[in-house]
Amino acid sequence: MRGRPLLLACAGLLGAALGVSGCFTERQNESAKLYATHCANCHGARGEGLQRLIPPLARADYLVKNRARLACVLRKGLTGPVVVNGVEFNQVMPAADAHLTDSQITNLLNFIQTSWGNQGEVLTIREVEAQLEGCGVIPDGH
Amino acid sequence: MNVSFLRCALSVSLLALSGAALLPACSPTDKTPADAAEQLPFIGEREVKPRADGGPADTVYATIPDFRLTNQDGQVITNQTFAGKVYVTDFFFATCPSICPKMQSELLRVYTKFKGDPRVLFLSHTIDPAHDSIPVLRDYAQRLGIPDASRWHFATASHDTIFALARTYMTAAQVDKGVAGGFAHSGAFALVDPQRRIRGVYDGMNPLEVQRLLDDLPVLLREVEREQKAAK
């Protein structure tokens, strides 16, 4: 009778020791996970891009110059040439469409705005929603 | 209570200890370059052919069939282009939004490492020949930092030719309108020896697998060197 609760306590302690870091970082890492899932294959694990094929996100002037339409870039994608840090890129960026919710787009943008040396101004979900409402008319290059 | 707590703490620390003890097993074992007999496996089907004179049977390994492709410089390339060389191959397409950039950046890592070694060539096949014309392939290659086709060919052929080749190189590729970009394919790299035999298949999306390729290449090059010496 006495052994069982202690055994449970023991297991609990063990579990706490193993799981404690996981519990606390779960939410915090959500945006990093979104980035890893949806962006990193092309833009690189550290936003470094790929040569002249895929533009970098780290320290990219494009993010500063186009802050007002970044949410639309994620939702609608991009086609045609873009210039980032003085280099011309011309690849299709697929549209996230319904794959990402407004709040996920906000999370993702703020992760990008504050990672790898970026010091962009973060966006509120209201700002993102307002941007997304105007996306329907964005030229898609066709 | 105290005793039990101690036992509990002990078991936790024992667990931690055993974890630490296991760690060395996780790190890759050091390869000894001196081991000249080290050899890569042969991948794919093999056939055992009995000899007419009753001697020991010959094992015949699967080989890459004859092919004829066109590269980003508009030159025709065939198996002869790769004669006496080892080469690494993959399948991609220029507008691929999913795995290709990652895969090609990993292959670029291998290319960069063996840039100075003319015994190693690279061959990327487009699985979207309808879109990836020669100018598109040339633009893609140059944007990736590959100035010409002397070491890394970006090649095209008819849809059927490419997809049949993909199978022989152990790469799964198929048209799939349901995935981003319109093609489903695996990011496999195949390592081919001068006798057209596949000596390794690696997941090009996994940096650890690509490291295995980086480790395997010198092993294969040493084998080729031994054979070329023996043939002289």
Q: Is A12 part of any domain?
A: no
Q: How many domains does chain A have?
A: 1
Q: Is A53 part of any domain?
A: yes
Tokens 């492709």, located at residue: B69
> Residue A42 is nearest to which of B5, B8, B97, comparing CB atoms?
B97
Give which of A1, A50, A82 to mutate to test B binding, by max B Cβ within 10 Å. A50
- Identify the band that residue B27 occupies on the pLDDT scale cut at 50, 70 and 90: very low
Give the strand pairing for B188-192 and B86-92.
antiparallel
- Cα separation of A109 and A24, whole Å? 22
> Residue A13 is nearest to which of B8, B95, B99, comparing CB atoms?
B8
Q: Which residues are CB-neighbours of B187 under 8 A, at least 6 positions away?
A: B90, B99, B100, B102, B103, B203, B204, B205
Q: Is B14 part of any domain?
A: no
B213: nearest Cα among B196, B230, B188, B195: B188
Q: Is B25 part of any domain?
A: no
Residue A109, domain CATH: 1.10.760.10
- Contact of A50 with B104, CB cutoff 8 Å: yes
The HSE-up count of residue A92 (CA atoms within 13 Å, CB side) is 15
Residue B126, domain CATH: 3.40.30.10
When computed from its CA atoms, the radius of gyration of chain B, rounded to whole angstroms, is: 23
* pLDDT number for residue B226: 93
**Which chain A residue shows the shortest CA-CA distance from B144?**
A51
Predicted structure pTM score? 0.77
* pLDDT number for residue B9: 47
Q: Is B146 part of any domain?
A: yes
- Lowest-pLDDT choice from A41-45, B4-8, B49-53: B4-8
* pLDDT number for residue B54: 84
Range of B125's domain? 65-231
Q: Is B116 part of any domain?
A: yes
pLDDT of residue A39 exceeding 80: yes
Q: Is A14 part of any domain?
A: no
Q: Is B227 part of any domain?
A: yes
* pLDDT number for residue A133: 93
Q: Is B57 part of any domain?
A: no
Neighbour count for residue A30 (Cβ, 10 Å): 15
Q: Which residues are CB-neighbours of A8 under 8 A, at least 6 positions away?
A: none
Q: Is A32 part of any domain?
A: yes
* pLDDT number for residue B220: 98
pLDDT of residue B211 exceeding 80: yes
* pLDDT number for residue B1: 42
- Using a CB-CB cut-off of 8 Å, the residues of chain A touching B8 are 6, 9-10, 13-14
pLDDT of residue B18 exceeding 70: no
- Cα separation of B94 and A92, whole Å? 10
Q: Which residues are CB-neighbours of A140 under 8 A, at least 6 positions away?
A: A76, A77, A79
pLDDT of residue B95 exceeding 90: no
Q: Which residues are CB-neighbours of A127 under 8 A, at least 6 positions away?
A: A71
Q: What is the pLDDT of residues A94-132, one digit of tens each?
A: 999 889 999 999 999 999 999 999 999 999 999 999 999
pLDDT of residue B178 exceeding 80: no
Q: How many domains does chain B have?
A: 1
- Cα separation of A53 and B95, whole Å? 10
* pLDDT number for residue B38: 84
Q: Is A124 part of any domain?
A: yes
- Using a CB-CB cut-off of 8 Å, the residues of chain A touching B7 are 10
Range of A114's domain? 26-137
Q: Would you call B143 helix, strand, or coil by DSSP? A: helix
Q: Is A87 part of any domain?
A: yes
Region of A115 on the Ramachandran plot (φ > 0 left; ψ -120 to 50 alpha; else beta): beta
Q: Is A91 part of any domain?
A: yes
Q: What is the pLDDT of residues A18-34, one digit of tens each?
A: 555 545 555 568 999 99
